[in-house]
């Protein structure tokens, strides 16, 4: 008579291999999660810096357009001093506006056009965002 040996369940070696494969998947999943969290923080900081640059660009643009004593010919140094505001979510923030006169040797119409740039430097290590627009005094 033949003896039938039925095996039920897993062997120890199979269980160990399964545990090692599961551990590898868990470690790679955790690394992916950590990378996503880090990138989300960087994207959030960059978005805040872009919003700050845009707000200051509009503020300086309005100030430049409304002040008749400032024009491209007088080199508006009044508006080019760096500002260091406290912004929630960003550290070491410095906002530097700059004006240039790209058409200074042209006609009177183009002499009234200035290029306004806002550079926001933030965080450590330092990162920069620059936003710019053209302003017409007329």
Give the structural domain span for 66.
12-136
As given in the structure block, the two tokens for residue 60 are: 């300086």
In a domain, 17, yes or no: yes
In a domain, 96, yes or no: yes
pLDDT of residue 81: 80
Domain count for the chain = 1
Question: pLDDT tens-digit profile of 89-119?
Answer: 889 999 998 887 777 665 665 567 788 899 9
DSSP 34-103: HHHHHHHHHHHHHHHHHHHHHHHHHHHHHHHHH-TT--GGG--GGG-S-B----TT--S-EEEEEEE-TT
Question: pLDDT tens-digit profile of 40-85?
Answer: 888 999 999 999 999 999 988 888 777 776 666 665 555 678 888 8
pLDDT of residue 10: 81
In a domain, 4, yes or no: no
Average pLDDT over residues 120-129: 92
State the Rg of the chain over Cα. Answer: 30
């Amino acid at each position: 008579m033949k003896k039938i040996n039925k095996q039920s369940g897993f062997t120890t070696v199979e269980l160990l291999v399964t545990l090692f494969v599961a551990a590898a998947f868990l470690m790679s999943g955790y690394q992916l999660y950590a990378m996503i969290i880090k990138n989300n923080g960087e994207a959030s900081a960059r978005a805040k810096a872009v919003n700050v640059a845009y707000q200051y660009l509009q503020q300086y643009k309005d100030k430049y357009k409304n002040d008749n004593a400032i024009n491209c010919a007088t080199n508006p140094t009044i508006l080019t001093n760096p500002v260091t505001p406290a912004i929630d979510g960003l550290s070491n923030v410095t906002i530097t506006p700059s004006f240039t006169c790209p058409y200074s040797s042209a006609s009177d119409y183009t002499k009234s056009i200035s290029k306004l740039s806002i550079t926001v430097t933030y965080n450590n290590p330092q990162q920069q965002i620059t936003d710019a627009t053209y302003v017409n005094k007329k």
